[in-house]
Structure 1
Amino acid sequence: MTRKIVVVGWGLAAHRLVTGLLAADTDVDVIVYAGEGGTAHDRSALPGTLTGAGAGLPTPSDPRLTLHAGVRAVAVDRMHRFVHGSDHWVQPYDTLVLATGANAMLPPIKGLRTDDGQDLLPGVHSSHSAADFQRLAEAASAATHAVVIGGSTIGLDVAAALRTMRAADPLHVELVDQMPAAPEITSADAYLTLRRTGVIAYQDCRVRALTAGRGGGLEGVVLADGHRLACDLAVIACGTAPNTALAWTSGLAVARGIVVDDTLRSVSDPHIHALGACAEHRRSLSGRRETVLAQADVLAARLSGVDPYRTYFSGLRSGAQLALSS
């Protein structure tokens, strides 16, 4: 009997899982809800798209795969095992996998949004999705002075890419650490490397406010010490928070992330799993690339039957996540 495995999300975690399931040549139908579009992306590689690099992942060509591009999963009926899509289609499932990833965090900075609070101030850009980076590339092509707010790895990568994307007419780029709350430590060497590209980097510093010009667009940023930086482009790179909205409304256990056991199964429902940046395993969150890939490999092995007893253990040995087979 063909099993229906529904996957919500189409990022690195979902792509690796689906690829593993299809490679196992098992009797499954895999249905993916890809709310951001039909191409999966490795988010860690998105800053490179500013300089022409690719971040898209190849879509598997397999008749067992159904990809709902641009369709979001809006509700889960756990009792009857149905997923309701934004296209009003109701999809039954035997197993549901939530790979909803994380949402970009927007810091509480005065002037970040328009007066009605609905949109970011013109000239301010997020740096999370492929669409974000497409808009950022267009804006950066005409900008003269950019400020990157956030000293995470993504923030440093964005700053370096902005500096190098216009070889003939380099963009003036400054980065403000903003002391991210994420459990990520950016090394002094990383800042030194960034400064060698010509980026001015401020560490242990915060942006207090954004200021708008007469036309309503971004004019500059004000640091906590009152120092002002003129700019016509600002990029927010202040980390992410697990996207747990669908799990929460479905009645699953959610702490900081979707709570899963060592098999990456929800502690609330044996038919639902979660992995990647949205999952919380042993009170730990991680959206690191190696963690995401390890979790996807474990879940693919379990759900395909290749290794149904394989478990995941988030042991921090040399900073790595470990996948163990029992």
Structure 2
Amino acid sequence: MTRKIIVVGWGPAAHRLVTGLLSDDADVAVTVYAGDGAEAHDRDALPDTLSGGPAAAGAALPAVHDPRLDLRVGVRVTAIDRMHRVVHGTDHRIGHYDALVLATGANPVLPPIRGLRAADGESLMAGVHPAHSAADFRALAQAATKASRAVVIGGSAIGLRVAAALRAVRTESPERAPLPVELVDQMPATPEITPADAYFRLRQTGVIAYQDCRVRRLEEGPDGALAAVTLADGYRLTTDLAVLTCGTAPNVALAWTAGLAVARGVVVDDALRSVSDPAVYALGGCAEHRRTLSGPTDVARLQADVLADRLSGRDALRTYRGIPPTPRPAPRMNTVVAEAERFLKAAAA
């Protein structure tokens, strides 16, 4: 009997899961609610799209073509009826499932900064962009070609990559100099948080980095668009483009309204199954396994592989136990000295 599987979301974790489910002749019918569009993207590659060229197309994951797949583009799930095992979509259709997989991912965190939002209180001020989805990066790439300066707020790994990519962005005129980019990181400069090497390489690209700094407010210009970023100490960074890279939070709204167990993410067991409903699963950025969020993309890929094996019947007993932390060897003295020297050079730059 054909197993009906519904997947909510079309990010890299969902794409990996669906590819695995359809990799052989498993008797499944897969319905995907792809509210953000037909293309799934590798989020790790999205910063590279800012500079254009071949990298811009490299973030798109391969299209999946299979008669067992029903990809509902632009349709979102509005409610889950767990008792009858159906979901309701924005297209007013009902989808029946034997297994429901939540792959809703995570949403970008908007920091509590004064002046972040426009006058309507809902949208961001003109000139302020998140950096999370493919649509975000398309809008950011377009804005960067017209910007005079850029400030990246948030020193996460994605923040450092976005800052470096903005320096290489293609401007509208070949005669224009590279885009001046500054990065504000509220975390102190410690190897445990961000390796000094990362900032040393970033400064080599021409990015000016401010560490252990907080943003007080965003200043609005006469035209209602961003004019400057003011730091906590009063220092003012003139800019017409600000990029928010302040982390993400699991997108659990749908799971919460359905009455599923939610802590920070959708709580799942070693089978990646909701602890409150054996017919519902979660993986990727929205899932919480053993009090740990998925985090890196490679974790989501492993979860997708495990769940594909279970739901397709290839290995119905396969479990996910998490990824053990990589042991960090004790640094040798010459390594410590070399890193300190690089950090001091970077600080003096």
- Which category describes the TM-score, using the shorter chain as reference length? over 0.9
Distance in 1 (CA, whole Å) between partners of 2:28 and 2:194 is 42
Q: Which amino acid aligns with 2:259?
A: G
- The structural deviation recorded for 1:287 is 2.3
Distance in 2 (CA, whole Å) between partners of 1:319 and 1:135 is 39
What residue number does 2:268 align with?
A: 260
What residue number does 1:324 align with?
A: none
What residue number does 1:194 align with?
A: 202
Q: Is 1:244 the counterpart of 2:248 in the alignment?
A: no
- The structural deviation recorded for 1:59 is 1.6
Distance in 2 (CA, whole Å) between partners of 1:72 and 1:303 is 22
Q: Which amino acid aligns with 2:157?
A: T
The structure-2 alpha-carbon separation of the partners of 1:319 and 1:133, relative to structure 1 and needing over 3 Å to count, comes to: farther
Deviations 1:291-316 (A, max 9, x none): 01110010011111111111001143
What residue number does 2:76 align with?
A: 72
Q: Is 1:316 the counterpart of 2:324 in the alignment?
A: yes
1:1-326, aligned counterparts within 5 Å?
1-52=1-52, 53=55, 54-166=58-170, 168=174, 169=176, 170-179=178-187, 185-318=193-326
Mapped contact 2:299–2:323 kept (Cα < 8 A): no
Q: Which has the higher strand share?
A: 1
The SS at the match of 2:129 is strand
TM-score (norm 1): 0.95
Mapped contact 1:9–1:35 kept (Cα < 8 A): yes
Distance in 1 (CA, whole Å) between partners of 2:13 and 2:323 is 19
TM-score (norm 2): 0.88
Greater Rg, structure 1 or structure 2?
Answer: 2
Distance in 1 (CA, whole Å) between partners of 2:193 and 2:324 is 15
Distance in 2 (CA, whole Å) between partners of 1:93 and 1:243 is 21
Distance in 2 (CA, whole Å) between partners of 1:145 and 1:153 is 21
The structure-2 alpha-carbon separation of the partners of 1:11 and 1:203, relative to structure 1 and needing over 3 Å to count, comes to: same
The structure-2 alpha-carbon separation of the partners of 1:222 and 1:248, relative to structure 1 and needing over 3 Å to count, comes to: same
Mapped contact 1:124–1:218 kept (Cα < 8 A): yes
Q: For structure 1, which segment, 100-109 or 36-45, has the greater mean C-alpha deviation from structure 2 after superposition?
A: 36-45
Mapped contact 2:287–2:293 kept (Cα < 8 A): yes
The SS at the match of 2:322 is strand
Aligned length: 317
The SS at the match of 2:22 is helix
Mapped contact 1:38–1:69 kept (Cα < 8 A): yes
The SS at the match of 1:40 is coil
Distance in 1 (CA, whole Å) between partners of 2:40 and 2:11 is 5
Distance in 2 (CA, whole Å) between partners of 1:89 and 1:278 is 24
CA root-mean-square deviation: 1.5
- The structural deviation recorded for 1:116 is 2.4
Distance in 2 (CA, whole Å) between partners of 1:31 and 1:187 is 43
Q: Which amino acid aligns with 1:227?
A: Y
Distance in 2 (CA, whole Å) between partners of 1:250 and 1:166 is 45
- The structural deviation recorded for 1:268 is 0.5
The structure-2 alpha-carbon separation of the partners of 1:114 and 1:48, relative to structure 1 and needing over 3 Å to count, comes to: same
- The structural deviation recorded for 1:25 is 1.7
Aligned identity (percent) is 68
- The structural deviation recorded for 1:186 is 2.6
The SS at the match of 2:319 is strand
Unaligned runs of 5+ in 2: 329-349
Distance in 1 (CA, whole Å) between partners of 2:215 and 2:31 is 43
Distance in 2 (CA, whole Å) between partners of 1:287 and 1:39 is 22
Deviations 1:66-101 (A, max 9, x none): 101111111100000101111111110110000000
Distance in 1 (CA, whole Å) between partners of 2:68 and 2:194 is 42
Distance in 1 (CA, whole Å) between partners of 2:294 and 2:49 is 24
- The structural deviation recorded for 1:319 is 6.7
The SS at the match of 2:141 is helix
Mapped contact 1:207–1:224 kept (Cα < 8 A): yes
Unaligned runs of 5+ in 1: 321-326
Q: For structure 1, which segment, 218-227 or 45-54, has the greater mean C-alpha deviation from structure 2 after superposition?
A: 45-54
